[in-house]
Structure 1
Amino acid sequence: MPTKKQKPPKVARKLALALAKAGAKGQVKKLAAMLKAIESAGDAGKPGTWEYYAHRFRLWLAGGMAGETPFSIFRAGGNKKLPFFTFSSLPGFDCPGKGDCLFWCYSFKAWRYPAAFFRQLQNSMLLRSKHGRQIVLKAWREIPANRTVRLYVDGDFYSASALRYWMKACRERNDLRVYGYSKSWELFLQL
């Protein structure tokens, strides 16, 4: 598997796309089988590798996505450009307003880092179930007061119900400064 400075091989990109597709469609058994195959391809005990994160993610799926999530839902501090809390989901798969930008979307570059990919996959899957949304809401409520939150650094509101969910969550936390960018204009018009 690639190191931090190397780009992943094409196989890794294809595999990440297959994992994302299965996760976005809720195909848990198929996703678990692919994760198991990744684990067995290398050392699943070596932190920072695709095998390691695939193992953590598969165990979480096997537990019914209950308990502690394998990755933080909101990323605190981000990087030097993003000194605040961020939320991301799968690019492309969660972007109903995507257009030509899909083919040059910067968000796919984050998939060089398996932890970033699996956080996006986890968040996309959480938002697609009532139980998962409760887990996200719990993490939302734990963000300290008077902070800035950027929704969807990667990904976008994938449905009108997801947009309504976030609008309600934002109203609940008027102590937060929340913003984001979206190409899902049609969903906003449905509100």
Structure 2
Amino acid sequence: MPVEQPPYRIVDGVALIEVRLDNLSRLFNTLDPSPFSSRDLDASAEDYLVGAVEELHRQHPVRLRFTVAGASEEAAEQVKSAVHHYFAYRRWAMDRRIRALFREGRLALAIGLAFLIGCLTLSRIVVGLDLGIVGRILSEGLFICSWVAMWRPIEIFLFQWWPLASRKRVFATLAAIPIEVAQAEPDRPRPPAG
């Protein structure tokens, strides 16, 4: 069975995420008219970086290296700043999304608890009326409905927030990741075949 080559190099205990570009502008969304330092990353570049950090950042510290032909020092600094700025914004936006989700959860919890109390109270009243099997069916139906009303807040507070928090941590890692921009070595001419 062949040994699989790890997709990222580990250098001195640091996982190196390497991206080769023929031009630094390929890193950014071409439809975004913002100044270079504030532009959005290209969607495929963002997906690659996020996926790499999700895979690596729990096992190793990470570093990002862009290898580009003919990148000036000024352009290299702008790229570093733009990548950090972009992921800081994504972290901030994810934080807002999490806060909005918890607000929604608190509202759903308040509504759910009020409905739960109302249904359980009605269920007890129906049981007290001694309506026989009809009363028992109504009582059980109200009991079930009361807990169904709690579904949404339970979903939010137990399950829905933590994938968002995990993504926020990835964005925070990328907002502070050490970045280097290296010059690509020029292509060497190949010797003639013969």
TM over 0.5: no
More RCO (CA 8 Å, sep 6+): 2
Structure in which a larger fraction of residues adopt helix:
2
Larger radius of gyration: 2
Per the normalisation by structure 2, the TM-score is 0.25
What's the TM-score, normalizing by structure 1?
A: 0.26
